[in-house]
Structure 1
Amino acid sequence: MDDSIESQQELVFDEFLRDNSFDSGSEPEGEPRFHASSDLRESGEDEAGAGDDSFPSLTELRESIVSTLDASIAKFDGLLSHRGIVQPQRLFKLSDELLGMILGFLAEPQLSELLLPFAFNRVPNGVKRMRNLKTASPFLLPTVRVEMTAQSLARLDMISRHPNIGKGVRTVRVITHCLDRMSIDSFESFRHHKFGYLSEALERVVSDAVPTDEGEESRMSWELYRRYILDGSGDSINESILHNRPYVFDGSDDSITDKNLRQIFWSKAYERYKYLLAEQESLTEEDVFLEGVGTAVARMPRATTLHICDRDRDNFYDYRPHPRLYSTSKLLFDYYENEDVLIDDIIKSKLFGYEDDDDSYLRTDTSWSSPSAQILLKLPGAIHKAGRSLENICIEIRGPSDYRTLASSEDFQELSAATQRLKQFTFYCTYNEDDEDDQWTPTELDGLVKYLSAIVNTNALEKIDINLSYLAIGLGNLDMEKPNPSVPSLGTILTSRMWPNLRSIYLSRVPLHLSELETFIDNLKSSDIEMDIQYMYLISGSWSDGLEIFKNWSLGSQFQGRSAEHYLPAESFFGAGQAAILLGLWPFATGN
């Protein structure tokens, strides 16, 4: 999907490099040098067919982007000269239409943030419009995303250098999802897995589309299906396709030429897969990706929030793909007109904006020693080394098969040093059923405990939000009705320090002992704290004692809710001034 977005950048980057004071190759004095072209090495060229004109080499990437920008700028300058406009154009002096394009296409899915309303509507008052534009221009792109590709990294690098747009970026969203050699070690294996993936995606679109005589979606889906899927036998055709088909297909027109074209398409896709895999490996070697992101973040003055996730959308809240960037009709047209866009989305398992969650069983490395996990461990430190102190870190990942990590104590010390000014920390760990493991021991959570403890080891923290699914930490096979001393505890994360500035804490599905809960409460410096604890597994002790701890901490404020002895999944509230505690307890027994 990244390439389909990048194909729109001729509109987006008409403003890039417009400012005379902006030099795409310049480097501020004293700043670590990173250039997307030179620092990405040339390893991908040797390993992945750099001579193929369809896929530019890494060293050509930045030059091709800049050439596109220069051509767009020259065309725009020519238009201005033709109209008799000779003064240099700044962002504030662009037309409403062009500025609307920039705001519309440059803006990515901004999480829960809304686009500025005047980005799409004319403002009749010229003075008011100018004031709005001057106010909005540094904030055109509050969130920017980056994937583990050279093109995406180069885009982040260029955005960070822009004197206006770079100043407005507040959040950098890093997608850790990366290609994996998986079990795809041959062309036949690659085609087998991706053939089925494409077939299911097209069948789903056709089954949801309106009849062909009323729209184009079915027609384009059918054409794509005919080009790349049909084998003449009809066996692979879904019943929904048969029902919605635009014409009767009996396999007679599935000529030798069609079969050869399909073979060429899948061979091209496999070569592209090998190229992107080699490119990704060149980015992860010698921490090229980490240093590139770290330098870009440090270059943007307001970028103090880091959002790390392993998918290109917020699956924890089940957000659907952004309708503007992931329109089914638009993507169908892109796939229909440009097979390179289709190939990249097939490889990345993100056809029509929906990432395929069913490929996890193919992955050979789902542990915390994988390349994706190294971003979790090392990216905050890379940003800190580049000169930026993060204030907000949000991490959303699927639980790995093994939380043990190869990180050294020095690595965790660097991580802790990088988060000393952190004010908010969010950690959501969901699970995939294919990752479930029947055998867990406390030592297997050692890496997770060290990781979370290193991040929250700061007096500056004001808000903590930790949400773990039971299966993500191996509790899915336990009897939740009975205490189990062998359950691994995460209590060390909460008991290892004092919390002088903590004002809000949310804990869900976090196992710990009663003694650890009591120590954590004692370490709080204030009772004026919003606390939300849900589905907590109390490994030892009783919740009747636990509720007494909360009531004593809240200075005897009135307790509202079910009595403790019922052990029901009730919601219980404690109030202490402006503070509040919300408890949602599992129906399990831990003593009397």
Structure 2
Amino acid sequence: MSSHDDGSSIVPSQLDSLYQHLRDLEPVRKHAIGQMLAAIAQRTQLEARLQQLKTLDSSNVNTNEHPPEKPALQLTELKSKVDLWSFRKQELDDRQSALRLEINILARPTLRHLELQDMADEILFRIFGYVNTWSPCDHLGIESEHATHLSSIKSLRLTCWRFCNASSHLLIPVVQVDMRQASLERLANISSHPTISKGVRVIRVILQHYNKFFAEDLQAFIGYQTATLDRDNASCAARTAHYSQLYGVPEDELLDAIAKVDKIVSIWATLNSADQADEHVMIYKSVLDRAYQEYAFLFQQQEKLRADGTFVQSIAAAFRRMPTVQSLELCDTHLERGRLRWTHIELANDPEALRCSIVQPMHWAMTTFQNLELPLGDVLVQMPGAILEAGGMFTTLEIQVPGLQYCSILPSTASNLQSATASIQRLKSFNFRSREFMHPDVESMIEPTQLQDLEVFTCALHTNSLENISLEFHYSWRFHYLPRLPTFSLGPLISIRSWQNLKTFKCVGMPLHLTELESFVDNLTVGIDEVKFHSLYLLTGSWAAALDIMRKSVAKRTSLEDPYGAECASMEREKSMAIFDYRAAGSQYSPADQYIMRLTDCNPIRDGNDEEVEN
């Protein structure tokens, strides 16, 4: 037998002996620990008894009586016993550590060298999870950080099949789908993929639409696209420095592109009288013709998908195939589409880019701005019920439209309401965000007569299971060029009920009365973590009294920032910020929040004014 063979046979026998010694040591160690704990318990009881005797002795009139000496002697013996067994335990721990070290030294050369791929799939999932930076946002938007690290996930998938399978679920956390056949096919492919589908958490439904008026009238289509391109070109010309930095090009190059786009606008505006043999006229006439044909085709496709229910049913089927999806987001505009996908340089120099930029669906506010037929909301109303009927479920519902008034035009039949209500009984988060469309010719504020038509909106708020609510309304009173002030209250949306499971509540831009604010605060239940108010408009009452009411909140934290109306209507901006803005106050909390959170007894409005202003 060779020396190598002798050594290889000796090591296992030595390891067996060491492991056996380690096993034999364990019950001895446990016995020592048990004896030590028993001695500690006896010592504690005896100390309590001696303390009781001292207490009785101090109340005894005869001060010559002393506690008996026997318990004190027993206490000394128990302390020695605890020290003895503690020392014994430490000896055994040291011996155990020495054995393990010896085992490690002997066993290490015989162990196989482990690599990353030797790890279990569960561990790889956790490791690769740190690459993914996406997390659910408190508003509808583009996950820019996730997009930044998307290349890392793609690189992991290209490393090997093992890494591909362990990281593919991180690839697409959000699926956006719109009313095009190609978009539905992409959703079907993702939801049917055995790995990628497991990582989808959100389905975002884009309700932009191709308009019938432009799809059936070539001249109207040309007129609209000409006016839109001219407006965008004028905006770029007015802010050349900004767009030059945005596009990363010199201003001279941008000015040249603006001149070329201006020429395109002129060609389109005079298309009927232009020289049809001119090369530029032919090129840009062809751009319009091909764009119109595609727009009309996409409109017909959209109407078919909507009429036969394919669009709604395809999304419902995707929810059924992907039980990991937690959130349904309904949005009137494609946040990643539009003319910003193409720079002004591309529009000026690439006819194909120009064609693609004008074959774009319209968002709801632009439809109103063009005085066209209002967008059809039947898809938005039918979606939740169809998902439930298909066997799917979601716990978060997010809606983003130009304003609350668009919820009032949704077709709220009894059947739709019943279906929508049933589908959201397990809803945990409801977020509504009014997307600002700042144009002086578009009224974005809801009228009082429309409040009664908000059944589709309010049925989501009346869900008992809600834990998180975020309501962000469009508020034009903060903008000087749109100074329309509210004349009615949205307070009834939040003041007429309570939510037993509510954890967080956020409200932005709501006009309400002081009594409605008080009702809301009174209805809050113990256990809520945070209540945030931002840019509220107080129609009646005073903000000094409102702070007193908020101070009664049972939430762990209640905050108020940038309020309007009442005293704030005549308050200088600097003073308002000093009271309600923690940044201006130079503290972690603003003076108003400090008062609300009971960190101070000073009401910054009442105690800072000689006379409280009442409206």
Q: TM-score category by the smaller chain?
A: 0.5 to 0.7
Once the two structures are TM-superposed, the CA of residue 152 in structure 1 deviates from its matched residue by 1.0
TM-score by length of 1: 0.60
1:444 aligns with 2:454: no
- The one-letter code matched in structure 1 to 2:532 is D
In structure 1, what is the Cα distance between the partners aligned to 2:428 and 2:213? 38
1:343 aligns with 2:355: yes
Structure 1 SS opposite 2:531: strand
Given that 1:149 and 1:280 are in contact with CA atoms closer than 8 Å, whether structure 2 keeps it comes out as: yes
1:364 aligns with 2:372: yes
The 1:478–1:590 alpha-carbon spacing in structure 2 relative to 1, beyond 3 Å, is farther
- The one-letter code matched in structure 2 to 1:168 is G
In structure 2, what is the Cα distance between the partners aligned to 1:520 and 1:143? 34
1:163 aligns with 2:185: no
Name the counterpart of 1:388. Answer: 392
The 1:220–1:134 alpha-carbon spacing in structure 2 relative to 1, beyond 3 Å, is farther
Structure 1 SS opposite 2:552: helix
The 1:423–1:358 alpha-carbon spacing in structure 2 relative to 1, beyond 3 Å, is closer
**Which among 191, 194, 202 is matched to residue 222 of structure 2?**
191
Name the counterpart of 2:293. Answer: 271
- The one-letter code matched in structure 1 to 2:146 is E
Structure 2 SS opposite 1:179: coil
- The one-letter code matched in structure 2 to 1:523 is N
Instruction: Report Cα offsets for 1:81-122 as digits up to 9, x if no partner.
Output: xxxxxxxxxxx9xxxxxxxxxx9xxxx964553525633657
The 1:223–1:297 alpha-carbon spacing in structure 2 relative to 1, beyond 3 Å, is farther
Name the counterpart of 1:313. Answer: 335
Name the counterpart of 1:520. Answer: 520
**Which among 429, 432, 449 is matched to residue 434 of structure 2?**
429
Name the counterpart of 1:591. Answer: 614
- The one-letter code matched in structure 1 to 2:369 is Y
The 1:539–1:409 alpha-carbon spacing in structure 2 relative to 1, beyond 3 Å, is farther
- The one-letter code matched in structure 2 to 1:377 is V
Instruction: Report Cα offsets for 1:540-563 as digits up to 9, x if no partner.
Output: 344333322221234999999999
In structure 2, what is the Cα distance between the partners aligned to 1:479 and 1:472? 6
Given that 2:401 and 2:435 are in contact with CA atoms closer than 8 Å, whether structure 1 keeps it comes out as: yes
The 1:131–1:285 alpha-carbon spacing in structure 2 relative to 1, beyond 3 Å, is same
Once the two structures are TM-superposed, the CA of residue 506 in structure 1 deviates from its matched residue by 0.9
Once the two structures are TM-superposed, the CA of residue 578 in structure 1 deviates from its matched residue by 12
Structure 2 SS opposite 1:540: coil
Identity across the alignment (%): 24
Alignment of 1:445-484 (within 5 A): 445-448=451-454, 450-471=455-476
Once the two structures are TM-superposed, the CA of residue 187 in structure 1 deviates from its matched residue by 1.9
**Which among 141, 166, 181 is matched to residue 172 of structure 2?**
141
Structure 2 SS opposite 1:406: coil
Name the counterpart of 2:379. Answer: 375
- The one-letter code matched in structure 1 to 2:288 is W
Given that 2:409 and 2:453 are in contact with CA atoms closer than 8 Å, whether structure 1 keeps it comes out as: yes
In structure 2, what is the Cα distance between the partners aligned to 1:521 and 1:213? 54
1:420 aligns with 2:425: yes
Alignment of 1:147-226 (within 5 A): 147-182=178-213, 186-198=217-229
Higher helix share: 2
Structure 2 SS opposite 1:113: helix
The 1:296–1:111 alpha-carbon spacing in structure 2 relative to 1, beyond 3 Å, is farther
1:119 aligns with 2:134: no
In structure 2, what is the Cα distance between the partners aligned to 1:579 and 1:382? 49
Name the counterpart of 1:282. Answer: 304
Once the two structures are TM-superposed, the CA of residue 275 in structure 1 deviates from its matched residue by 1.7
The 1:496–1:418 alpha-carbon spacing in structure 2 relative to 1, beyond 3 Å, is farther
In structure 2, what is the Cα distance between the partners aligned to 1:454 and 1:356? 22
Once the two structures are TM-superposed, the CA of residue 363 in structure 1 deviates from its matched residue by 4.3
Instruction: Report Cα offsets for 1:11-33 as digits up to 9, x if no partner.
Output: xxxxxxxxxxxxxxxxxxxxxxx
Stretches of structure 1 that go unaligned for 5 or more consecutive residues are 1-91, 93-102, 237-251
In structure 1, what is the Cα distance between the partners aligned to 2:562 and 2:255? 59
Given that 2:394 and 2:427 are in contact with CA atoms closer than 8 Å, whether structure 1 keeps it comes out as: yes
**Which among 386, 394, 401 is matched to residue 397 of structure 1?**
401
The 1:183–1:524 alpha-carbon spacing in structure 2 relative to 1, beyond 3 Å, is same
Structure 1 SS opposite 2:212: coil
Name the counterpart of 2:488. Answer: 488
Instruction: Report Cα offsets for 1:440-466 as digits up to 9, x if no partner.
Output: 752212223x23321122222121111
Once the two structures are TM-superposed, the CA of residue 277 in structure 1 deviates from its matched residue by 1.4
In structure 2, what is the Cα distance between the partners aligned to 1:219 and 1:557? 52
Name the counterpart of 2:118. Answer: none
The 1:278–1:320 alpha-carbon spacing in structure 2 relative to 1, beyond 3 Å, is closer
Given that 2:530 and 2:558 are in contact with CA atoms closer than 8 Å, whether structure 1 keeps it comes out as: no
In structure 1, what is the Cα distance between the partners aligned to 2:604 and 2:166? 44
Name the counterpart of 2:544. Answer: 544
1:499 aligns with 2:499: yes
Greater gyration radius:
2
Stretches of structure 2 that go unaligned for 5 or more consecutive residues are 1-120, 122-131, 133-140, 581-591
**Which among 300, 305, 313 is matched to residue 322 of structure 2?**
300
Instruction: Report Cα offsets for 1:530-585 as digits up to 9, x if no partner.
Output: 111122223334433332222123499999999999545442215899999xx999
Once the two structures are TM-superposed, the CA of residue 496 in structure 1 deviates from its matched residue by 3.8
In structure 2, what is the Cα distance between the partners aligned to 1:349 and 1:560? 39
Structure 1 SS opposite 2:614: coil
Alignment of 1:30-109 (within 5 A): none
The 1:253–1:489 alpha-carbon spacing in structure 2 relative to 1, beyond 3 Å, is closer
Question: RMSD between aligned alpha carbons?
Answer: 5.3
Name the counterpart of 2:593. Answer: 573
Given that 1:313 and 1:320 are in contact with CA atoms closer than 8 Å, whether structure 2 keeps it comes out as: no
Name the counterpart of 2:26. Answer: none
